[in-house]
Structure 1
Amino acid sequence: MLRFAPSPTGDMHIGNLRVAIFNYIVSKQLNEGLIIRIEDTDKARNIEGKDKEILEILNLFSIDYVSVFYQSDNLKYHQKMALQLMTQKKAFACFCSDTKLEELKEESIKKGIPFRYDGFCETLSDETVLNTNAPFTVRLKKPDHNIKFTDVLKGDFDYAPFDVDSFIILRQDKTPTYNYACSVDDMLMDISMVIRGEDHVSNTPKQIHIRESLGYTKEIKYVHLPIILNAQTGKKMSKRDDASSVKWLIEQGFLPSAIANYLVLIGNKTPTEIFTLEEAIKWFKIENVSKSGAKFDIDKLRFINRKHIEMLDEMRLSKILGFADENIGKLAKLYLEEASTIKEIKAKLDDIFSVKTTLEGFEEESKKVKEVLQKTSYFESYDDLKNHVTENTALKGKNLFKPLRYILTGVENGPNLADIYPFIKNYIGEIVR
């Protein structure tokens, strides 16, 4: 079983989506189920409705899964297992206040050493614990041996007990911390492989230590994916980068199929540049993903998006654009020379169907052309229409073609009118209203 575990604390980031896509592909290759686990235990940071938005995005990208779990629903198991650890003397109550811990951190900073818990409460007697009424957290005792694991991409890791430390597993309100809830849930859900971002590498030894402390011996394979970099700055994509938000990319008119194509492509060895997720399942190898950060180039995504629009069935494209006419889909593809997103193509169509007044510098000519077109009956060919307008306005050259293009398309430049006309001839009445 694999899992994708997003937090409902903000917009889905392209890094999160890449993790979801890779989990989906590998789950299909291994013929194992994919679980979506909404990690919602940090109530203060949760944003209402973000969980539904995450699921909607996954559905938009055709990422199917066997079930959805909310981490907060497992609270009783988190607390029960913490009590088990305390009973077995593998975890202990910690009464140290936030103020005291901050003082210890300040001392560590002054000494230039990493902060580690000093173990003060670990030696408290049961009697002392029972007679202390102050609020407490629960800490897991640091391991008595090194924690080792092998990452599919990054190789071997070896963490000393000092690196793992005696860390908090239950907060004062008895809700679980991230690493603890994650470990327990991975056990309960029988997860076999964890694919996530490399920012979680330091969490892995703690999660292994938690499972070992609970007597869970099943080995979980780990894949920590490199971060996605801004191609211009070479730095990690941040929330300030519009393109980092999947929601923003969709709103800008990038197709989910193209975004998925690009996120699999970057930092990877692929047999072809343009493909679907279904095709990727046949040849994708998680071990071939680059160990270094993948650069996100919005211009490259535009190129791929254009290719995916080209591959769309004309009727399907038409419906995406708000119509139900194959000719509108064909018309949309004419604009792929100058447009690369659905939003940009929609703007072209909006120009065509907008109410036109007059073209600057050709005011009288525009008026004549519009009046003739408003009285015009249906013409099968562009040449017949052009000849009709010429005969009824006596215009020629740019005095004819500039206003004619403007009245029919709403702009002065673009694809040849002879190429456009076959796809708009049934809408002339609406176009020249």
Structure 2
Amino acid sequence: MKIKTRFAPSPTGYLHIGSARTALYSWLFARHHGGEFILRIEDTDLERSTPQAINAIIDSLNWLKINWDQGPYFQTKRFAYYNYMINHLLNNGHAYKCYCSKNRLENIRNQQMINGEKPRYDGFCRNNYQKNIFDDLPYVVRFRNPKEGSVIFKDLIRGIIQYSNKELDDLIIRRTDGTPTYNFCVVVDDFDMKITHVIRGEDHINNTPRQINILKALGAPLPEYAHVSMIMGNDGKKLSKRHGAVGIMQYRDEGFIPEAVLNYLVRLGWSYGNQEIFSLDNMKKLFSIEAVSKSASTFDNKKLLWYNQFYIKNLSPDNIAQHLFWHLNNNCTNIVSGPPLKELVQLFSKRCKTIKEMANYCYNFYQDVCQLDPEAAKIYLTKDATKLLQRVRDKLSIINNWTKESVHNAIVQTANELEVKIEKVSMPLRVAVTGVSYSPDIDLTIKTIGKLRSIKRIDIALKLTYGDD
């Protein structure tokens, strides 16, 4: 049997952490078993589905490197097929037309709630429909759910789950306007696309017995199901924006890299011994749906930052440079006249938790002048620093072979000649050249900024110190 899984989001908003993890688990399961992964857009909610949300879903999956073998399929383009299948159920008695008005249904619901009963359709049209009596009235189509027996299925994460058919309603599968409903479209798609394993959020557990009964009515094979638990905030409540439940692409905008997000996502509910770091190849090799916990997971932004910093430090500079380029380019920074991005990655990778933070350090490397921090300038660019800066500036200006070592030698020679500690030279120099009082090794920083820019910035700082007289 060829394994086939699917990810089927509704395009009514961004792709958030929980949905991305579901997509990852479904994708990993297929890849682990050498199967296929399908992307299906469930856009039957015509009022809330938007092209922007569809694009956001596709962009997010592409950024995470979760690729699909088929699709994306759109349910709105398959209405004719769904209606064909609904007519098939009508003809063989597994569905029926319901002419009940909204007013009647609301009255029934209110009375059931007053009586302390579970609200459900009372089956009036199921039991009283007579051909040609109501045919001129608007109607919905309902699935004729079995009234006897139970639906029993083995969830790959949760074990045996059982529902009594008496607890299940005759759900609507086609609205009065002729459009099919979500639960029916899902079933037909899974059948038609030969989905063998349905991996989705636990909020779909209640839909599963209804969908199984429809599959049986269609004579379709049943897929296996696995329902992934919720992700909670660290306060034990459902994940929300204040916990970090934002669109996946916002994580990119904030400077996270896909390898870190994926590694964090796979560990939100799945483990392999005590191992923390997993490459994509590791995940595909080791992932098992049976090892996914049925307990809720807790989102921890600090742990995500830890993963991000780990990958910034350990991925190749060329890889990180691609992400850095995106941030700099997004900020309209022209990187043509400046150091190669790879050099900046090597300069800052050990001190940055996000690419956005790295980009903030890097803007100055592509500007002729830098923005001086007023407090740092007040402390270090004093009248006493003028002589130090002028001496080291003169030594830097005559360097022919511009290297970290030659810059370092100029700083050391200045300190020795003026009989001061090296910090007395390096700190004013650092503020003059970078604008701030903190940076990686000043000799490497100046080497990377370049000779002409460094000299120009020192000259500007010297004018500021002369202005103190």
Structure 1 length normalisation: TM-score? 0.90
Q: Give unpaired runs (5+ residues) of structure 2.
A: 326-334, 461-469
**Does 1:150 pair with 2:165?**
no
Match of 1:38 among 41, 53, 78: 41
Query: Secondary structure of the equivalent of 1:292?
Result: coil
Distance across 2 between alignment mates of 1:431 and 1:82: 76
Alignment pair present for 1:25 and 2:28? yes
Residue 376 of structure 1, CA deviation:
2.5
Going from structure 1 to structure 2, the CA distance change for 1:430 and 1:301 (only over 3 Å counts) comes to farther
Contact 2:244–2:301, Cα closer than 8 Å, also in 1: no
Aligned residue for 2:331?
none
CA-atom RMSD in angstroms = 2.7
Equivalent of residue 163 in structure 2, options 155, 159, 162: 159
2:438 aligned residue:
413
Tell me how far apart the structure 2 counterparts of residues 361 and 113 of structure 1 sit (CA, whole Å): 75
Would the alpha carbon gap of residues 331 and 162 (structure 1) be closer, same or farther in structure 2, given more than 3 Å must change?
same
Distance 1:64 1:420 in 2: 39
Alignment of 1:250-261 (within 5 A): 250-261=252-263
1:57 positional shift: 1.6
Q: Per the alignment, do residues 345 and 66 of structure 1 end up closer, same or farther by CA in structure 2, a change over 3 Å counting?
A: same
* Equivalent position of 2:312 in the other structure: 309
Question: For residue 330 of structure 1, what is the aligned residue in structure 2?
Answer: 346
Equivalent residues in 2 for 1:202-221, closer than 5 Å:
202-216=206-220, 218-221=221-224
User: Of 173, 181, 185, which residue of structure 1 is paired with 2:185?
Assistant: 181
1:427/1:192 Cα in 2 relative to 1: closer, same or farther (>3 Å)?
A: farther
Q: Determine which of 88, 97, 104 is the counterpart of 1:100.
A: 104
Question: Are the counterparts in 1 of residues 381 and 432 from structure 2 also a CA contact under 8 Å?
Answer: no
SS at match of 1:318: helix
Distance change (3 Å), C-alpha of 1:356 and 1:141: same
In structure 2, the residue matched to 1:91 is 95
Name the aligned partner's letter for residue 254 of structure 2.
Answer: Q
Residues 5 and 37 of structure 1 are in contact (CA less than 8 Å); yes or no, is this contact kept in structure 2?
yes
Equivalent-residue separation in structure 2 for 1:305 and 1:431 (angstroms): 36
Question: Hey, what's the Cα distance between the residues in 1 that align with 2:112 and 2:238?
Answer: 28
Give the aligned partner of residue 378 of structure 2. Answer: 360
Measured against aligned partners, the alpha-carbon deviations of 1:164-210 in whole angstroms (never above 9, x if no partner) come to 21110011111111111000111110110000000000000111111
8 Å Cα contact 2:173/2:180 also seen in 1 = yes
Contact 1:94/1:137 (CA < 8 Å) preserved in 2? yes
Matches for 1:276-425 after TM superposition, within 5 Å: 276-322=279-325, 324-335=340-351, 339-350=352-363, 355-357=370-372, 359-365=377-383, 373=393, 376-378=397-399, 379-380=402-403, 381=405, 382-387=407-412, 400-418=425-443, 420-421=445-446, 423-425=448-450
| Distance change in 2, residues 1:369/1:318 (3 Å) | farther
The residue identity in structure 1 corresponding to 2:436 is: V
**Is 1:14–1:245's contact at 8 Å kept on the other side of the alignment?**
yes
For the residues of structure 1 that align with 2:452 and 2:297, how far apart are their CA atoms?
46
Does the 8 Å contact 1:258/1:308 carry over to 2?
yes
Counterpart position of 1:126: 131
Structure 1: how far apart are the matches of 2:70 and 2:389? 58
Shift of 1:28: 1.1
Relative to structure 1, the CA distance from residue 255 to residue 19 in structure 2 (aligned partners, 3 Å threshold; closer, same or farther) is: same
Q: Tell me which amino acid in the other structure corresponds to 2:433.
A: L
Q: What SS is found at the alignment partner of 2:378?
A: coil
TM-score, normalised with respect to structure 2: 0.83
1:341 positional shift = 0.9
Matches of 1:293 and 1:71, distance apart in 2: 31
Count of residue pairs brought into register by the alignment: 426
Structure 1 gaps, min length 5: none
Partners of 2:75 and 2:387 lie apart in 1 by 68
Q: Share of identical aligned residues, percent?
A: 32
Partner Cα distance (2:176, 2:430) in 1: 70
Task: Write the distance in 1 (CA, Å) between the matches of 2:173 and 2:412.
Answer: 81
Contact 2:187 2:211 in 1 (8 A): yes
CA contact (8 A) 1:226 1:291 kept: yes
In the alignment, the residues of structure 2 paired with residue 255 and residue 125 of structure 1 have an alpha-carbon distance, to the nearest angstrom, of 62
Q: Is the 8 A contact 1:237 1:244 kept in 2?
A: no
Shift of 1:342: 0.8
Give deviations 1:202-240, integer Å, cap 9, x for gaps: 000111111111122x1210000011111x211121255
**CA distance 1:240–1:78, shift in 2 (3 Å):** farther
Query: Which of 1 and 2 has greater Rg?
Result: 2
Aligned to 1:268: 270
Cα distance 1:170–1:81, how it changes in 2: closer, same or farther (>3 A)?
Answer: same
**Structure 2: distance between partners of 1:278 and 1:152:** 23
Tell me how far 1:308 sits from its aligned partner.
Answer: 1.0
Give the Cα–Cα distance (whole angstroms) in 1 for the partners of residues 210 and 296 of structure 2.
Answer: 24
Taking a change above 3 Å as real, the CA distance of residues 166 and 243 of structure 1, as seen in their structure-2 partners, is closer
SS in 2 for 1:157: strand
Q: Secondary structure at the match of 1:174?
A: coil
- 1:398-418 deviations in Å (ceiling 9; x for gaps): 654332222233322344424
AA partner of residue 248 (structure 1): Q
